[in-house]
Amino acid sequence: MTHLTGKTALITGASRGIGEATARLFAEMGANVVLAARGKGEIEKIAGDIGDAARAVSCDVSQFEDVKAAVDLAVDSFGGLDIVIGNAGVIEPISHLADSDPEEWGKVIDINLKGVYYGMRCAMPVMQAAGGGTIITISSGAAHNALEGWSHYCASKAGAAMMTMACHKEGAEHGIRAMGLSPGTVATQMQREIKVTGINPVAQLEWEDHIPPEWPAKCLVWMCSEDSNAWLGQEISLRDDNIRARIGVA
């Protein structure tokens, strides 16, 4: 038995990287998982690997009705919703502000910021009615430091960090635990996209410089426990050696 046994978690961006690793680990720890992503084939395969404790739902987090449908699926399938991991995010197209495409720039805001809002908007009433829940937003160092070529990503992540603080301020009295996780650079497809551009210091990193997606997944498991309550309303950095020691990664 673990603190996740019998809990139901909705994980956005679950088709790969941190989202996939989190879905698999949460299921191993006894949770029911709803995998939400645009890549329906990928999440259906992952859900099939996990078994009866998993559901897959095609979801574009920039569309409110898609997010609502994912929340409804969790409630209809498993009787409630205890955890939301707002992981879906994009960084392409990377470009300088002066050369940026306004429409494409706005799409990143729609996914990275409005997608977080939609997740909170749909989940909070369900959690409030049930007496509480946990909402965790995947943040980034880019939320706090501007990086060349990443104006859309930095702005969206900064906004999402503020949304998480707002969720804590409004949700805590209803039993909602809201936090952010800044994982550092993770060995995912996004880092391959960043590398190709050659823009800013992050693109200069080598593959072995990035942590595996299983590390953030382990941190998210811990963040869903009462042991992490000292960080409610705040952002946890996986660059912090004390946090790494706490969750048991090198």
Let me know the angle formed at the C-alpha of 131 by 130 and 134, rounded to the nearest 5 degrees: 95
The two three-digit tokens of residue 180, written as one number: 């952010």
CA–CA dist 240, 145 (Å, integer): 17
8, β-bridge pairs:
32
CA–CA distance, 77 with 54 (Å, rounded to integer): 9
Give start and end residues of each alpha helix (H) in 54-178: 64-78, 102-109, 115-130, 151-171
Kindly report the number of other CB atoms within 10 A of residue 146's CB atom. 11
β-sheet with 176-182: strand ranges across? 54-58, 32-37, 8-12, 83-86, 133-138, 176-182, 235-237
Contact status, residue 77 vs residue 33, Cβ threshold 8 Å: no
Q: Which tokens sit at 174?
A: 């209803």
- Contacts with 122 (C-beta within 8 Å, 6 or more apart), sequence order: 64, 67, 68, 70, 71
Residues identified as active-site: 153
Task: Please compute Rg for the chain using Cα positions.
Answer: 17
Angle, CA 107 vertex, CA 17 and CA 178 arms, to 5°: 55
